[in-house]
Structure 1
Amino acid sequence: MVQETKTTDGITIRVGSFYEKNSSRPLNHYYAFSYVVEVENNTAFDVQLMRRYWLIKDSNSDVKEVEGEGVIGQQPIIKPGEIYNYSSWSPLATPIGKMTGYYAMKRLLDGSMFKAYIPEFQLTADFINN
């Protein structure tokens, strides 16, 4: 797994993706990908992940935007030095695509909001690389 990393305002985000062969249906143009995200708080203050925004693009240049509260039903508080991780998935109509986006984060000390940017990462079916 290739892992992409990006740091914004002391929040480091690492993402890696996997092709889910058993959940995919290539004959139906359905390719499933899972991804694992780590959010590391390198600041001196507690932060809370409030919202997510994803931009998902396949190799046909079809773009899907996904946004909502928190991640996987949670709005985690991440203390200084802690890492919050989760996994999720996304379907595509093509065997190649990419994702990027940001998390809307809140500094609990003063309630101020900022964006922690998610590095762009590739979604590639295993058979493409062989």
Structure 2
Amino acid sequence: MHEQDYDQIQVQVSTEYVPDQSSAEAGRYVFAYHVTIENHGKLPAQLLSRHWIITDGNQQVQEVRGEGVIGEKPTIMPGEAYQYSSGTVLQTPVGSMQGSYQMIDATGLKFDADIPVFTLATPRSLH
């Protein structure tokens, strides 16, 4: 392994509840999440695929795997960042997400960039 260590890609996420697409009566809670992927390494890195682990307030776990993000497989240059927004639907007002992006650097080394766990919560549902 060379200097493109796994911690060279840092992922930050902010979330928001989308009340006009949600319905408590129907058990439908829609959340948007905004992701920033920063490349602190010395080599370009391309995002190939994603793996999400989504857990709702009832501890129901859903895993999502797929190519790229929002239909793209961005290459992130050293010192640069890539941003995108997406969303998910929970059956409970509180949940969490975490996962990883499968990346490849300019030398062909494949590695995972961890997405730290983050909370999804409607306003006033957490005290």
Runs of at least 5 residues in structure 1 that lack an aligned partner in the other structure: 1-6
Poorly superposed stretches of 4+, deviation over 2 Å: none
Q: 1:50-89 alignment to 2 at 5 Å?
A: 50-89=48-87
Runs of at least 5 residues in structure 2 that lack an aligned partner in the other structure: none
Supply the AA of the counterpart residue of 1:113: K
Under a length normalisation based on structure 2, what TM-score does the superposition of the two structures give?
Answer: 0.93
Which shifted more, 9-18 or 115-124? 9-18
Q: Does 1:116 align with 2:113?
A: yes
Q: Tell me how far apart the structure 1 counterparts of residues 10 and 55 of structure 2 sit (CA, whole Å).
A: 23
Question: Considering only aligned residues, what root-mean-square deviation do their CA atoms show, in Å?
Answer: 1.3
Deviations 1:65-88 (A, max 9, x none): 001100000000000000000000
SS in 1 for 2:73: coil
Q: Tell me how far apart the structure 2 counterparts of residues 58 and 26 of structure 1 sit (CA, whole Å).
A: 14
Q: Is the 8 A contact 2:6 2:111 kept in 1?
A: no
Supply the AA of the counterpart residue of 1:89: G
Q: 1:9-24 alignment to 2 at 5 Å?
A: 9-24=7-22
Deviation at 1:128, TM superposition (A): 1.3
SS in 1 for 2:20: helix
SS in 2 for 1:38: strand
Q: Tell me how far apart the structure 2 counterparts of residues 8 and 112 of structure 1 sit (CA, whole Å).
A: 11
Q: Tell me how far apart the structure 1 counterparts of residues 7 and 112 of structure 2 sit (CA, whole Å).
A: 8
> What fraction of aligned residue pairs are identical, expressed as a percent?
41
SS in 1 for 2:25: helix
Supply the AA of the counterpart residue of 2:53: L
Deviation at 1:16, TM superposition (A): 1.0
Q: Tell me how far apart the structure 2 counterparts of residues 29 and 79 of structure 1 sit (CA, whole Å).
A: 41
Deviations 1:5-46 (A, max 9, x none): xx9431111011111111101100000000000000001101
Deviations 1:95-126 (A, max 9, x none): 00000000000012x11100000010000001
- Count of aligned positions: 123
Q: Tell me how far apart the structure 2 counterparts of residues 34 and 88 of structure 1 sit (CA, whole Å).
A: 6
